[in-house]
Structure 1
């Protein structure tokens, strides 16, 4: 039976795009991937199905991953999820039925090339993010691990692109580098932009270029989000800084504003009652926290500064380790939040 399943999966993978157009009709093609919300054919951009590749092994056609849930599988698994069938025999029968359909019934819809998005626009950011892949097992995960960041809970806003274009600001030919891609969203979850961190070929550091980080789209007031905002959350400038604190407080929702200027202008979720602000040690970071605290107080939100010992929380995490960082953070939290977030993560 295992061999039958494997053979069926290979046959389906040979017609991966046709399978997707038939079973995932609420999705769309983007480059080498079919993009849809999930394996139940919900509209959205969380799930990626590889349309091209070898029949088996790494990078095989038909393999899919849902970045939001971590679910993954082949096209037989996809048919099971879409149809709700639970018995393998029923799933296999449905796959055989599909493979035996006349071509006229499953002919792929012609691929219509979309109008190119304006460089740097929100649409360009959305397209880049949709073409990127889940972060697990990629050079982006290697990069974060090398910076001491091992907790990737609620990081659907992080993705990886193996060949992301970079145009030097000083001019010169366009190049490609592997890159960590992050989604910038508004309070309603709509993507308004993206951020790129270009990486070295081995993923151990940022790429050796003048500007290894760049954002695109509408950023003011918006953020890269980790977790679902509620009454309490934390906000900081850099992605690595915020993810470092997430290692210490993995249950606390957090936002990365991407710069000091954007930190000061972040929009508050409607239910927010207490905001922790990650202060960078430079003057711009301090001024941004002061302006943000003033806005928070005016909105009736308690604002509390979290200060790192070194330049930022990622430096602290790498130098002192997770256990020491927990101790350093504990005294800066309210008593109720120590119980709510810190004790839970210990």
Structure 2
């Protein structure tokens, strides 16, 4: 008699495909997996259920690649049927398995570890862990096509060959390659992730290599105060909004620590390292950029940090790099930073 949750999950795993056809009817089989949008039976391909035991694990285990959630087929029954108490989940499972119903067991909802909620820091950590280094991938080609050749020390960026994208809650999930960026706090602890979905067909002047979708950039996790980091900040650091913007500036200041806050609002709220004495603000030339710049200057002054603004000739530094070239960007940047920093941080790019 199947009295334990482990026993029930194991029995369900032996009939994994039949369970999926009953409770995840919006999905379909592909090879040794059942693909569906999520454990609530939403159409899509974000979640995959293992149908056969393999070296990767037992049948019936599943993972949602977008949210990072994972579990077994009891979780599928709970979510797809909208059940709360484990007694009801177990009764439904036993009915499916044609097993007798024993005495009730303790409520499983209090003892099971929940999956990581969609968009949570834990989901961001799992997404980053599932990704791979960018060398010889579409991410490296994307950055080089945008004029960014300084690709040293960028372990905060990774490549995911099939990152799931859902335009909205009512649309099917799509799969696109993506650049995954780690958002970290001052201690280097990963708190979030940023996704830039890429066009597998490569670079063009319309999308600049981003996927032809409505929102090719999205962030997840805990972002406020944190950033994507390139190098470890000491007394000097540069901060700006976009990843491509800061990597472009890094082409001419290759040894200066830099952070990308991902938006003007988050740039205005970045946390300062205790060691910071001079902050370069890489301004985007728009009203939001001006507002973030003003806020950062005020915050830096209160903290006793010297703030120096570096401005692009066009909209941002990647646009400058793409349109003017690296020599013009180097010359324009050199006259905007302190002489000692030009000698210290530009020597590798001279």
TM-score computed with the length of structure 2 as normaliser:
0.66
Structure-2 separation of matches of 1:153 and 1:298: 34
- Corresponding residue of 1:272: 276
- What is the CA-CA distance between 1:344 and the residue it aligns to? 3.3
- Corresponding residue of 2:133: 134
- What is the CA-CA distance between 1:323 and the residue it aligns to? 1.0
- Any conservation in 2 of the 1:264–1:289 contact (CA below 8 Å)? yes
Select which of 336, 342, 348 maps to 1:338.
342
- Corresponding residue of 1:93: none
Matched, 1:217 2:221: yes
Secondary structure at the aligned position of 2:251 is classed as: helix
1:53-92 mapped onto 2 (5 Å cutoff): none
Structure-1 separation of matches of 2:195 and 2:248: 18
- Corresponding residue of 2:82: none
- Any conservation in 2 of the 1:251–1:345 contact (CA below 8 Å)? no
- What is the CA-CA distance between 1:114 and the residue it aligns to? 8.0
- Corresponding residue of 1:149: 148
Q: Which runs of 5+ in 1 are unaligned?
A: 1-50, 53-112
- Corresponding residue of 2:177: 178
Distance 1:174 1:295, change over 3 A: same
- What is the CA-CA distance between 1:202 and the residue it aligns to? 2.6
Structure-1 separation of matches of 2:144 and 2:233: 25
Select which of 204, 209, 212 maps to 1:208.
212
How big is each residue's C-alpha offset from its partner over 1:174-209, in whole Å with a ceiling of 9 and x where there is no partner?
A: 011000000000001100000000000134210000
- Any conservation in 2 of the 1:129–1:194 contact (CA below 8 Å)? yes
1:221-236 mapped onto 2 (5 Å cutoff): 221-236=225-240
Supply the RMSD in Å over aligned alpha carbons.
Answer: 1.5
- Corresponding residue of 1:254: 258
- Corresponding residue of 1:119: 118
- Corresponding residue of 1:62: none
Distance 1:135 1:115, change over 3 A: farther
Structure-2 separation of matches of 1:276 and 1:245: 11
Structure-1 separation of matches of 2:290 and 2:302: 19
TM-score computed with the length of structure 1 as normaliser:
0.66
1:10-89 mapped onto 2 (5 Å cutoff): none
- What is the CA-CA distance between 1:115 and the residue it aligns to? 5.0
- Corresponding residue of 1:245: 249
The structure 1 segments of at least 4 consecutive aligned residues displaced by more than 4 Å after TM superposition are none
- What is the CA-CA distance between 1:324 and the residue it aligns to? 1.1
- Any conservation in 2 of the 1:166–1:174 contact (CA below 8 Å)? yes
Structure-2 separation of matches of 1:163 and 1:283: 35
Give the number of aligned pairs.
236
- Corresponding residue of 1:288: 292
Secondary structure at the aligned position of 1:133 is classed as: coil
- Corresponding residue of 1:196: 195
Structure-1 separation of matches of 2:138 and 2:131: 12
- Corresponding residue of 2:102: none
Structure-2 separation of matches of 1:203 and 1:334: 38
Structure-2 separation of matches of 1:136 and 1:344: 22
How big is each residue's C-alpha offset from its partner over 1:134-163, in whole Å with a ceiling of 9 and x where there is no partner?
A: 011100111101100111111000000000
* Rg larger in structure: 2
- What is the CA-CA distance between 1:332 and the residue it aligns to? 0.0
- Corresponding residue of 2:80: none
How big is each residue's C-alpha offset from its partner over 1:298-318, in whole Å with a ceiling of 9 and x where there is no partner?
A: 000000000000000000000
Secondary structure at the aligned position of 2:135 is classed as: coil
- What is the CA-CA distance between 1:173 and the residue it aligns to? 0.2
Structure-1 separation of matches of 2:197 and 2:348: 34
- Corresponding residue of 2:332: 328
